[in-house]
Structure 1
């Protein structure tokens, strides 16, 4: 803020007159500095209206005195007459004209304090006007945000600051600018990205650019940049900060709405899984998570980082414009997926997990079900999860592969007891006698009792196999001609060979 010399000359009661240096009367006064020092340069910073009575200044020294003030970059010189000098010395007049320094005569009847008060009051009025204008502008920008979102915020800020304003989204580099076309802000935005979340201001001749990151939850969503052909005032910087806050709130609206939708859908999923909500009522809330033919799948994940994995899946599904309906129970996370999501889709969803989160994670995926069969899907996803190990961390339930029963902890416990009294006996006999009863039994059972196929698999004669099977029937006191006995023994052999989870 500053005061024009022409304005000061017009103030009634001061009686100021421009006596020399008319070419410099367009300069602006920042403040008033009375001084009687012959060389006040060490105490000047430029832009002052210096007031002096010329005390101690001889007439012949006037030229050097004016030249020193001009070198200091003052805005104007006010010379008080009627005290030390009845008139302004000719040397001062001549030097002021030569230097283009506006020279004002201050009459004896005008105290320097009156001049200083007039300038100070005007600066205060300007300060108030700027604050009032900033407050009005903040209201306009806020109203614009309510009506037109980020685009309206950018436009209102540009109009209010008479500058070019650009918002660049971090996610896809989408640009919103006013006025169009958008200025090239590649350099300052690249610098802001290198510096993390810090703001950047670049000042070049005839160009000032400030870039402010729009940050929410520690994540940079984009950058708001303002370019002007002059230095930006403090009030304008306040307006820019206000605009950044409004953009942050505007960008957070979809996130808050998504979080609320996810919370509601997750509660409905939980009630449905517990059998407390009818499938028809649940579908009304979960429709946006259902795939083609109204089918869903259940994904069951086991991980010590369930909260982090949930946040990761939220980002992945958000990018696909899909909700995240989930249940979190300690180290296990259950997610409702579309019926057309495949095991490959699940692998892709989890692909970008940080290594520390991905390494211990295991996941089981159910087949596609109607929404009314979610509880069955939960059980099947749990069975699939139990079949995973260090070499296969993501599994899909498939009853046709003969692994469904083995995935159940209750069934495994029973089968392990059966194996302890059957397969373990045969294995001990094999170790003591060098026999091959266990592999012979397995080949026979997997061939459904077909002698030729089982013998070929073992590369032995069928009579040799018949002898081994007879020995097995003797040791275990069983009849392998009974299909139910064969089925139970096959499961016992499989559970004995299966690695412990």
Structure 2
């Protein structure tokens, strides 16, 4: 089959000797340079004239059906792309009118927006970003087969999602967008579950082989929005982008936006840009402490952790409160910023947390 697919249609191949009872003929279907289907005919001997005529008739009919299916699928994709553009532009009424019976059921219920990139494209995007500025299931990940993607991870994911939706009778909207795939799928439905199971299977496979964060060309990075409706499609797209960005930085296959909202902001500080900001903000204080003229960084951390309560912070440090007041004035003088400003206190606290997480 693989060899036959590499040959332009029409093409055929025979498996087995002419006198072999397991003789099989393969005939490619379609008119494209790379057919996607084939007809397999098993016989006990070479085909006769009437049999050959019947096979050729079947090939012609199946090719016509295949080409019509491709044309219909391409038309559906164009409609889906138009519906998505309208939703993201805030034109939900127009989107619903265009969706009709094809995608109307999808817009009548809460949906999830899935944004996927190949790992190689995601790594390139993360590199550019640095220099420029799924619902859990009870099914065991080991029971989910990781399909071959033949270098097309987005196509593999699309096939998995479409197959799951077709089996359950759900509507699903898939729009290829350059190096990305955008998917609208019913919240809590089979398509979303299949996406989550696929990501879990990839995670399990990587853990079993102790691979490093996502780099393989056959792997994916996926961001999943919270449940949304047509009016909030734009917000859902932003949520999926944010989740995708976090998945990219953490070396994860899939991150849900709800996971970020329910978690802590501190893991998000493990970023080169944030680290550079924190190091720059605290550098002058660290250089002062290195001279042995006081412990301004530790004093600042104690004072901020006690919400500016002088006595409590001084007790934590084992110094007099007047000593602590003097140190905080020195912090203001060195930084040239007022600790009365809540934004300054917030930035300093995040800088301290960032460097603490890095073990500095």
| 1:212 equivalent in alignment to 2:61 | no
Indicate which of 157, 174, 177 corresponds to 1:313: 157
Report the alpha carbon displacement of residue 475 of structure 1 after superposing the two structures with TM.
Answer: 1.5
Instruction: Give the 5 Å matches for 1:278-357.
Output: 278=93, 280-281=96-97, 284=100, 286-287=103-104, 289=106, 293-301=109-117, 304=120, 308-320=152-164, 321=166, 323-329=172-178, 331-340=179-188, 341=192, 344-345=196-197, 347-348=199-200, 356-357=216-217
Q: Which runs of 5+ in 1 are unaligned?
A: 1-169, 171-195
**Separation (CA, whole Å) in 2 of partners of 1:454 and 1:394:** 42
Q: Please name the residue that 2:348 is paired with.
A: 489
**Separation (CA, whole Å) in 2 of partners of 1:232 and 1:419:** 77
Is the 1:317–1:324 Cα contact (8 Å) retained in structure 2?
A: no
Aligned residue-pair number: 291
Q: Please name the residue that 1:268 is paired with.
A: 83
Q: Please name the residue that 1:88 is paired with.
A: none
Report the alpha carbon displacement of residue 240 of structure 1 after superposing the two structures with TM.
Answer: 1.6
Give the TM-score taking structure 1 as reference length.
0.45
Instruction: Please identify which structure carries the higher strand content.
Output: 1
Question: Which whole-Å deviations, capped at 9, do the CAs of 1:393-417 have from their partners, x for residues lacking one?
Answer: 543332343549969x9xx98x889
Report the alpha carbon displacement of residue 323 of structure 1 after superposing the two structures with TM.
Answer: 3.5
Instruction: Give the 5 Å matches for 1:172-251.
Output: 198-200=13-15, 202-204=17-19, 209-215=23-29, 217-220=34-37, 223-227=40-44, 232-251=47-66
**Separation (CA, whole Å) in 1 of partners of 2:231 and 2:71:** 29
Report the alpha carbon displacement of residue 263 of structure 1 after superposing the two structures with TM.
Answer: 2.7
| 1:463 equivalent in alignment to 2:311 | no
Q: Which has the higher contact order (CA 8 A, sep 6+)?
A: 2
Q: Please name the residue that 2:242 is paired with.
A: 383
Is the 1:301–1:334 Cα contact (8 Å) retained in structure 2?
A: no
Task: Give the 3-state SS of the residue equivalent to 2:217 in structure 1.
Answer: helix
Is the 2:172–2:185 Cα contact (8 Å) retained in structure 1?
A: no
Q: Which runs of 5+ in 2 are unaligned?
A: 2-10, 123-150, 207-213
Instruction: Say if 1:469 and 1:308 are closer, same or farther in 2 by CA, change over 3 A.
Output: farther
| 1:396 equivalent in alignment to 2:256 | yes
Task: Give the 3-state SS of the residue equivalent to 1:199 in structure 2.
Answer: strand
Rg bigger for which structure?
1
**Separation (CA, whole Å) in 2 of partners of 1:222 and 1:473:** 83
Q: Please name the residue that 2:74 is paired with.
A: 259
> What is the CA RMSD across the aligned residues, in angstroms?
4.9
Question: Which whole-Å deviations, capped at 9, do the CAs of 1:171-216 have from their partners, x for residues lacking one?
Answer: xxxxxxxxxxxxxxxxxxxxxxxxx9732355449x7954334556
Task: Give the 3-state SS of the residue equivalent to 2:13 in structure 1.
Answer: coil
Report the alpha carbon displacement of residue 373 of structure 1 after superposing the two structures with TM.
Answer: 0.8
Instruction: Say if 1:224 and 1:370 are closer, same or farther in 2 by CA, change over 3 A.
Output: same
Is the 2:17–2:23 Cα contact (8 Å) retained in structure 1?
A: yes
Give the TM-score taking structure 2 as reference length.
0.58
Instruction: Say if 1:289 and 1:419 are closer, same or farther in 2 by CA, change over 3 A.
Output: same
Instruction: Please identify which structure carries the higher helix content.
Output: 2
**Separation (CA, whole Å) in 2 of partners of 1:282 and 1:430:** 66
**Separation (CA, whole Å) in 1 of partners of 2:80 and 2:59:** 32
Report the alpha carbon displacement of residue 270 of structure 1 after superposing the two structures with TM.
Answer: 2.0
Report the alpha carbon displacement of residue 265 of structure 1 after superposing the two structures with TM.
Answer: 0.8
Instruction: Say if 1:446 and 1:268 are closer, same or farther in 2 by CA, change over 3 A.
Output: farther
Instruction: Say if 1:344 and 1:210 are closer, same or farther in 2 by CA, change over 3 A.
Output: closer
Is the 1:384–1:396 Cα contact (8 Å) retained in structure 2?
A: yes
